[in-house]
Amino acid sequence: MKPMLTVIGLMSGTSLDGVDAAVIHTDGERITGLGPDTSLPYTADLRQRARRILDQAPTLSFDDPELKAVEQDITRHHINAVRQLQALVPGIDLIGFHGQTILHAPDRHRTWQIGDAEMLSRATGQAVIHDFRSADVAAGGEGAPLVPWFHAALLHGVPGPVAVLNIGGVANVTFIDADGTIHACDTGPGNALLDDWALCHTGTACDIDGQLARAGTVNWAIVEQLLSAPYFARPAPKSLDRQTFAMALDRVAACTPVDGAATLAAFTIEAVRRTPLPARPTRWYVCGGGRHNPVLMQGLQAALQVPVETVDHLGWNGDTLEAQCFGFLAARSVRGLPLSAPTITGGPNGLSGGRLTCAGLMPVPSWVHATSGRHS
């Protein structure tokens, strides 16, 4: 095993907006450098097709032709993103390929990320780690969130208790206690409901800068009703599917566009505030696209009553963090290091994850042999 790897991490998140890719220099424990990054948005057509697949996922068969076509198109975007970074950074050792989650149901021992790792490996000439969540789910864990080890590595030296909140389609928190213990869970919805509401009422893919929500009045009765869902009474670890709270859109259906947006934003914020954590964080750092929405940021500041800042204040890039994370986790995977923990996903202590594909790679890098047994 080479001590330090140069890895490209790839993330296509639940917002279905495109691929984020980033270079990271890491051995899966230390991060010695962050390289360039890029984002390739999906076309409106691919976004719609991927969304239809996500909506149908619970009943889809693995060989559904449209599923396969969407998977190929998504993989092509990943290949193009990798090629951009390969042109900038010579000597890439490995790719961490998250894929696109279309279904997440750990209670039924299912988590499903689409993306053709073999096609990616062949087209880019790189070893690829993929399928990061299945081992944890198979072992009884939630399979998500997986970002906490990465947040903890980046926070090294920042005194706890602190929380890092990612507001993507779904929102998740990493809590680091004063003694360094990591706790995590999905807090509730992130932007996904707001995105769906904005698309329906304005034709734009999100509530840009919170323009709708800012002009509306929160219907607190609806927020309380939504927060009475059993998920919010469950202790962590726990995780969500993008569509878990899709019924919230029916609950706000009679609201005006602005009041509906204000109510959905309040749902996201209140779900964060009520998330059970072992201690009160002294500070919250926010990443993910939701930090660009001032209504969410100001609402979180008012609700949490301790400083709430974007992770950019720590010198991190809040838009590329998840891509960097899957580069970091790929390096952990090839070393057999844990990707989760009992207080993160509820999976067993010491469990690694991810599968390795080296399709068509000649010669196979020598350090790859260290990972025998997990090839696909």
Ligand X SMILES: CC(=O)N[C@H]1[C@@H]2OC[C@@H](O2)[C@@H](O)[C@@H]1O[C@H](C)C(=O)O
Any binding-site annotation on 299?
Answer: no
Footprint of ligand ATP on 18-57 (CB under 6 A): none
For ligand ATP, what does the binding mask look like between residues 153 and 182, x meaning CB under 6 A?
-------------x-xxx------------
Q: Looking at 99, 161, 188, 190, which residue binds ligand ATP (CB under 6 A)? A: 190
In this complex, which beta carbon is closest to ligand ATP, that of residue 6 or of residue 166?
Answer: 166
Q: How far is the CB of 369 from ligand X (least distance, A)?
A: 28
Q: Looking at 6, 9, 10, 13, which residue binds ligand ATP (CB under 6 A)? A: 13
137 is a contact residue toward ligand X (CB under 6 A) = no
Footprint of ligand X on 185-214 (CB under 6 A): 186
322 is a contact residue toward ligand X (CB under 6 A) = yes
288 is a contact residue toward ligand ATP (CB under 6 A) = yes
111 is a contact residue toward ligand ATP (CB under 6 A) = no
154 is a contact residue toward ligand X (CB under 6 A) = no
338 is a contact residue toward ligand X (CB under 6 A) = no
Q: Considering CB distances under 5 to 8 angstroms, the limit depending on partner class, which of ligand X, ligand ATP, none binds residue 104?
A: ligand X
Q: Looking at 18, 96, 168, 216, which residue binds ligand X (CB under 6 A)? A: 168
In this complex, which beta carbon is closest to ligand ATP, that of residue 50 or of residue 123?
Answer: 50
322 is a contact residue toward ligand ATP (CB under 6 A) = yes
14 is a contact residue toward ligand X (CB under 6 A) = yes
240 is a contact residue toward ligand ATP (CB under 6 A) = no
CA 102 – CA 372 distance, rounded (Å) = 29
Q: How far is the CB of 119 from ligand X (least distance, A)?
A: 20
Q: What is the CA radius of gyration of the chain?
A: 20
Any binding-site annotation on 20?
Answer: yes
CA 266 – CA 244 distance, rounded (Å) = 17
Q: How far is the CB of 234 from ligand ATP (least distance, A)?
A: 19
Residue 335, both tokens: 């070393």
Q: How far is the CB of 16 from ligand ATP (least distance, A)?
A: 7
Instruction: List beta partners, residue 113.
Output: 101
Q: Site residues (CB under 6 A) for ligand X? A: 13-14, 101, 104, 111, 144-147, 166, 168-170, 172, 186, 239, 322
Instruction: Point out the annotated binding site for ATP.
Output: 13-20
Q: Site residues (CB under 6 A) for ligand ATP? A: 13-15, 17, 166, 168-170, 190-191, 195, 206-210, 288-290, 292-293, 322
